[in-house]
Structure 1
Amino acid sequence: MPAQPNPVRSSPAYRLEPGPVTLYAQLAGILRERVKSGVWPNGAEIPTLEELAAEFNVARVTVRQAMQILMKEGLVSSQRGRRTFVTYTPAEDKNPLFVSINMVSSVTPRYEITIISRDNVPESYLGDPYMGKARGPYMRIRKVDFESGDPYSVSTHFVSLPIYKRFGKVGEEQVKIARLVRDKARGALHLCHERVTVAAADLEESQLLKCPLSAPVARIRRVFLDAKGDILYYALLTFRGDRFGIERDTTELIKAG
């Protein structure tokens, strides 16, 4: 009889805590990370419902609900009367998309854009930008960016209307908006700045980015100012956590003061 694959054994017991996120959703997040990180590799047999219930100190039904989420996401598969196996295959390109103002021209042949909406809005729609002064009107553009057919960013952009009118035929449906603003500002840009924070995906973000609710995301606020401090471009971008990275030159840290 051929040897059967050994089920993956996991680390010591966890204690999940009741709260705004259900126990089965918490558990699904932990198990999802085990699959995607390779702790449970493709083809591996995972522990039984009873073993996982004991490990996490939860009811068997909680484990079943968590596993159903992973099955719907295509991460694991189970047939009646058989054990559950990992079916997730990592994408060929798992590298993050390194993002900064300096990368606005960086695209690949697999880059695609879907525009959600466009509308002309007054300056009050910018809310409370962290720097600069809003001076409208602006064209507001909401869009989703894709790489190889997978969404990685959802964003809202406010472009000064005079600059937006210069976008022309090769506009925001084909080119990154920050690049268009840079190229069409006619030398008016004086300062460009970004602020990055880490957060959890809300319901709309999780739906548009096809990631779990409350999955890690990076939020960027990007602002381009003219010499008077007026905002020519303001963007609110949300990136999937697994497709976001930043590189910085930190040589100054090792130089003598």
Structure 2
Amino acid sequence: MSSASEHRQTLREDGTPYYVQLAAIIRRQIVDETWNIGDRLPTLKQLVATFGVSPMTVRHALAGLENEGLISAERGRGTFVTGKPHTPESVPYLLTGSPAYRGKELSFRVVPSRESEVELRLSPEDGKPLGEYRHMKRIFSRNDHPFIVGQYLVADVVHRMIPEKLWKTELVSTLLYDTKDVGLSHVRQTFRVVSSMPAEAAELDIRVHDPVVRVRRIFQNAKKEVLCLAQLVYRTDGVVFDINIDLDDRNRLLELGGFPES
């Protein structure tokens, strides 16, 4: 590690303890193979200089990683990587494939729907409200291990068009697309990496403040009325977004790239 001024990293000021953030950074570096098993970690002094935290904070972070079996301190030699965090086998989420894909024992558990309260809110940018909405929730798992929590606001008028038994067995996006009377015309979504909240962490079996991918998906009719708002929270240690890019559509290519034309 060279000078601290070259590699100084600032931790977040969001209430997450510094030792939790530092441990998460080192854990991620081990997963990403920045540090491999057998590698010696930077010294206490180097970590203090790099992250601008106290020696006590560094010791607290390293102690937690040692308890996880990821590192081991050897007197007079330093601290070495001794293991890797458990990461589930990747589960492709095929954005352009069949929405009813059920490979590798994928399943979901449906939480009974009810009238919407304050779980999710529509913003003016989402489109025009379409009357009252019902709140739906699903926990997606693979081999009994949760990896997605989905919450949905479904317009009452849309909910009544589709038999209740189908809401319990089919994907929401499939039902909205296949039920022509719904009038689905536009779909857009945003991706954001955020820290998990306590309820999400418990449902996904991860630590509070672990990073998750939050996808907000808006389904609209031709009048830009919101048929459904879906908010999906993905674990980041077992999900791959596999996107097929249509090279016949240049604008679509630029849109998926996320960069404005220059």
Shorter-chain TM-score above 0.5: yes
- Which among 20, 24, 28 is matched to residue 25 of structure 1? 20
Residue 93 of structure 2: aligned partner? 97
1:15 corresponds to 2:12? no
Secondary structure of 1:130 counterpart: helix
Identity %: 19
What amino acid sits opposite 2:188 in the alignment?
Answer: E
Residue 83 of structure 2: aligned partner? 86
- Report the CA distance shift for 1:129/1:155 in structure 2 as closer, same or farther (over 3 A): farther
Tell me the CA shift for residue 97 of structure 1: 2.4
1:201 corresponds to 2:190? no
Residue 160 of structure 1: aligned partner? 155
- Which among 127, 140, 150 is matched to residue 135 of structure 2? 140
Deviations along 1:98-138, whole A, 9 cap, x unmatched? 436x6532232421223345211389964315343212322
1:169 corresponds to 2:165? yes
Deviates more, 1:28-37 or 1:230-239: 230-239
- Report the CA distance shift for 1:191/1:244 in structure 2 as closer, same or farther (over 3 A): farther
Give structure 2 stretches of 5+ with no counterpart: 254-262
Alpha-carbon RMSD across the aligned residues, in angstroms, is 3.6
Give structure 1 stretches of 5+ with no counterpart: 1-10
What amino acid sits opposite 1:97 in the alignment?
Answer: Y
- Taking the TM superposition and a 5 Å limit, the aligned residue runs for 1:1-257 are 11-12=1-2, 14-17=7-10, 19-20=13-14, 21-41=16-36, 44-45=37-38, 47=40, 51-57=42-48, 58-70=53-65, 74=68, 76=70, 85-91=82-88, 93-94=89-90, 96-99=92-95, 103-116=98-111, 118-121=113-116, 126-128=121-123, 130-165=125-160, 166-172=162-168, 174-183=169-178, 185-204=179-198, 205-242=200-237, 243-245=239-241, 247=243, 248-253=245-250
Tell me the CA shift for residue 71 of structure 1: 5.2
TM-score by length of 1: 0.72
Tell me the CA shift for residue 31 of structure 1: 0.6
- In 2, the alpha carbon distance for the partners of 1:188 and 1:123 equals 24
Whether the aligned pair in 2 keeps the contact of 1:194 and 1:223 (CA below 8 Å) is yes
- In 1, the alpha carbon distance for the partners of 2:248 and 2:211 equals 29
TM-score by length of 2: 0.70
Deviations along 1:57-103, whole A, 9 cap, x unmatched? 2544323321344356x462659989662143544x33542436x65
- In 2, the alpha carbon distance for the partners of 1:171 and 1:15 equals 50
- Report the CA distance shift for 1:210/1:188 in structure 2 as closer, same or farther (over 3 A): same
Deviations along 1:196-235, whole A, 9 cap, x unmatched? 1323123233333334444443332222223443322221
Paired residues, what number?
A: 236
